[in-house]
Amino acid sequence: MTSKYQKRYCIVGGGAGGIGLGKALTEGGLEFDIIEAESDFGGNWRYGAATSKMYQSAHLISSKQSTEFSDFPMPQSYPHYPNHELMLNYLQSLARHYELYSQVQFNTRVKSVLPVSSGCKVILSSGEEREYHAVIIANGMLREPKYPIYPGKFKGKVFHSVDYISPDAFAGKRVLVVGAGNSGCDIAVDLVPKAAKVYHSTRRGYHYMPKFIDGLPVQKWLSVIRNEIDDAHAYWDHVTSTFKLAGFAGSDYGLPQPDHEIYQAHPIMNSLILYRIGHGDIIPKPDIREFKGRKVVFLDGSVVEFDVIIYATGFKMSFPFLSKDILPSTSLKEDTFMNSFHKKTDHLIFAGYFNSPSGLGNLSNAGGKLMTSYLKALYNNKQSIRIFNQLKQNAGLLDLSGDFMKTERHENEFDLYKVLKGMKWLSEKFLA
């Protein structure tokens, strides 16, 4: 065991989350190492790398302004919705600016993280063992593909969105895309010019948002309008009626009415899905009832034959380097406070396991500041850390959940405004 690490912190993963954390710890004057399994920074945004879930046509879903770190803006030359290549360049320039390339160990996997008396032991793929004061895990939320289960067996080819690169592999095929998340909508649209037929199966009616409205990226427009309309109900009424006028009400295209309010679901932002449906290039379908060979029976009783199904049905988190007794439940919700601070092991933190209706930059900045304050308070054994630890056990005292639908998809969805406010208060007032 090497003791030189006992005043240092270990960040597991060099994706956007690990980079944001490296930035925060640098600004807070803390010493750390980043351990990254792959050969460069960028994680998911390194299109073509083993860890990436990007497809060729992928662009930011959240706008440039709502995704960048506000104190390290994206270049002015970037469009409102940069593609994956520009996003990767941006993240790597962030890593260069904060000199993270001198703090990272690439091509090294963290194999095990074990809490010890006043820290965490990390075992690396090289076999080396180190004992750090604390470990911050940032291995990404989108780790293992999730597949729904339906009766029967589909005899065509089955893919997950993680396998999807471009429409070329589906030229001339009859394809069913399952799932109304942003990837499902992107992929269905992407397939249109090449596939013989594109069908899109979703479980319910949704609210769709355009990427631009009134000449602004939609998130910017939403914040402008929010400042103009005080009352929340009046605000959302205005938003939904404007989207309807702009051609973004699914029910106008024969889709079911949403069974929830627009603010109760993670936003689907896609300017083309309804346009394609309106032109008959994408045929909407309800959920699947069962498979019969190559035939898919839908809940409305209709039956269609397909060559391929692409499940855009999301991902599970996965922490193969943690033993079951550290994370006995399958969700961070139960074993951690704010999906971040382990309830029993003070020296173990998780960064970046939030879904919120915005891009990553501001959340990462606020989360990084909170974690830095926490680590300093922990190291100095401040009185505040004992009160913080009581708060951890009574998470209900700080309600950060939003008004989201109680579905699996929204399990890790937080109210962005409450989280940012809560993080600021905790780091600047509580732990300072």
- Residues near ligand FAD (CB under 6 A) are 12-18, 35-38, 43-45, 51, 53-54, 58, 60-62, 67, 109-110, 138-140, 142, 183, 321, 352, 359-360
What own/partner pairs with CB < 8 Å and gap ≥ 24 does 117-126 have? Answer: 118/347, 119/6, 119/347, 120/10, 120/345, 120/347, 120/348, 121/1, 122/10, 122/12, 122/35, 124/35, 125/37
Instruction: List strand residue ranges (DSSP E) for 157-256, in order.
Output: 157-160, 174-178, 197-201, 208-209, 212-213, 216-217
Among residues 50 and 397, whose Cβ is nearest to ligand FAD? 50
The residue sitting closest to ligand FAD, measured at its beta carbon, is 15
Residue 117 Cα to chain centre, angstroms: 33
Q: What is the nearest approach in angstroms of ligand FAD to the Cβ of residue 138?
A: 5
Q: Is 316 within 8 Å of 146 (Cβ atoms)?
A: yes
Among residues 94 and 142, whose Cβ is nearest to ligand FAD? 142
Q: What is the nearest approach in angstroms of ligand FAD to the Cβ of residue 33?
A: 11
Compute the distance between CA of residue 14 and CA of residue 101 in angstroms, rounded to an integer. Answer: 10
Q: What is the nearest approach in angstroms of ligand FAD to the Cβ of residue 301?
A: 33
Compute the distance between CA of residue 266 and CA of residue 35 in angstroms, rounded to an integer. Answer: 31
Nearest residue to 252 via CA among 201, 198, 207: 207
CB atoms within 10 A of CB 114: 18
Instruction: List strand residue ranges (DSSP E) for 90-148, in order.
Output: 104-105, 110-116, 119-124, 129-132, 134-137, 144-145
Among residues 74 and 110, whose Cβ is nearest to ligand FAD? 110
Among residues 161 and 388, whose Cβ is nearest to ligand FAD? 161
Q: Give the single-character DSSP code of 59.
A: B
Q: What is the nearest approach in angstroms of ligand FAD to the Cβ of residue 347?
A: 18
Q: What is the nearest approach in angstroms of ligand FAD to the Cβ of residue 84?
A: 8
Among residues 205 and 352, whose Cβ is nearest to ligand FAD? 352
- What single letter denotes the amino acid at residue 428? E
Among residues 110 and 288, whose Cβ is nearest to ligand FAD? 110
Among residues 136 and 138, whose Cβ is nearest to ligand FAD? 138
Count how many Cα atoms sit within 13 Å of the Cα of residue 12 in the half-sphere of its side chain: 29
Q: What is the nearest approach in angstroms of ligand FAD to the Cβ of residue 111?
A: 7
Alpha helices in 57-170 (DSSP H): 64-67, 84-97
Q: What is the nearest approach in angstroms of ligand FAD to the Cβ of residue 205?
A: 23
Q: Is 338 within 8 Å of 413 (Cβ atoms)?
A: no
Cα angle vertex 196, ends 194, 197, to 5°? 110
Among residues 139 and 388, whose Cβ is nearest to ligand FAD? 139
Q: What is the nearest approach in angstroms of ligand FAD to the Cβ of residue 75?
A: 17
